[in-house]
């Protein structure tokens, strides 16, 4: 993401996992783990939306941890149709979280599916404090139910995941969805706005 990004290999269930960690300039207040889009469609931890989320979390004082799913970049293993990818996320969370500080869990597109499943798998005393899901893969993946304070952001003209699919997933949960008018799946030209909205939403006091 920048010259201060630390890249390191983490232990994973299918072999080593390639990670990238960005730390805030001030003492960190917690850890944010971010899951990237679909590996079979070019998704990596260096995706621009994933990096934008990392910047938002660093601005808020969190260590931002991105990682490549198995078989992507220098991560060992092979694509596992979403099952192993959830295990990868859980392994990164277990190694990188600080038990005494908050955990944020985020994901973009397929990564939002992985984040939702990972959160559902974590024990009650290990759940993330907040979740941020951008352009969640609600049409092709079985997204888990998420907490009521989850931040969900979707583009109105998303050409990969129709907004209608995300609204249909959110509706039974009475879960608000922040819609970016006229914006597609990859938030082209709107990354600064995306970062600002995430920061503003996370700074708002919980109701």
Residues 153-173 pLDDT 10s:
999 999 999 999 999 999 999
Please, which pLDDT band fits residue 206 given cuts at 50, 70 and 90? low
Q: Which two tokens stand for residue 19?
A: 């990670």
**pTM for this structure?**
0.97
Instruction: Determine the 3-state secondary structure of 198 from DSSP.
Output: helix
- The crossing angle, in degrees rounded to 10, of helices 48-59 and 191-203 is 40
List phi, psi (to 5°) of 29.
-100, -5
Residue count of the chain: 207
CATH T-level assignment (fold) for domain 6-203: Rossmann fold (3.40.50)
Burial 30-43, CB ≥16 within 10 A → b, else e = bbbbbbbbbbeeeb
Encoded tokens for 59: 């601005």
Helix (H) or strand (E) holding 102: none
Summarize pLDDT for 65-113 with one digit per residue, the tens.
Answer: 999 999 999 999 999 999 999 999 999 999 999 989 999 999 999 999 9
- Do residues 108 and 134 lie in contact, with contact meaning Cβ atoms separated by under 8 Å? yes
Q: Where are the domains of the chain?
A: 6-203
Region 113-135 average pLDDT: 97
Residue 204: pLDDT band with limits 50, 70, 90: confident
Which of the four pLDDT bands, split at 50, 70 and 90, describes residue 4? Answer: confident
Distance of CA 130 to the CA centre of its chain: 11
């Amino acid at each position: 993401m920048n010259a201060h990004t630390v890249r390191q290999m983490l232990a994973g269930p299918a072999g080593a996992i390639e990670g990238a960690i960005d730390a805030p300039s001030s003492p960190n207040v917690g850890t944010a783990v971010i899951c990237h889009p679909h590996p079979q469609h070019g998704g990596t931890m260096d995706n621009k939306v994933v990096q934008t989320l990392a910047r938002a979390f660093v601005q808020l004082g969190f260590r931002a941890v991105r990682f490549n799913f198995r078989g992507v970049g220098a991560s060992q293993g092979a694509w596992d149709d979403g099952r192993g990818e959830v295990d990868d996320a859980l392994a990164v969370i277990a190694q990188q979280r600080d038990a005494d500080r908050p955990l944020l869990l985020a994901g973009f597109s397929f990564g939002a599916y992985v984040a939702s499943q990972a959160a559902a798998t974590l024990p009650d005393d290990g759940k993330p404090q907040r979740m941020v899901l951008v352009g969640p893969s609600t049409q092709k993946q079985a997204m888990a139910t998420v907490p009521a304070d989850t931040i969900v952001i979707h583009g109105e003209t998303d050409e990969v995941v129709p907004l209608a699919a995300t609204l249909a997933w959110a509706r039974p949960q009475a879960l608000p969805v922040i819609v970016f008018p006229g914006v597609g799946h990859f938030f082209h030209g709107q990354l600064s706005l995306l970062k600002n909205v995430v920061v503003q939403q996370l700074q708002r006091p919980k109701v």
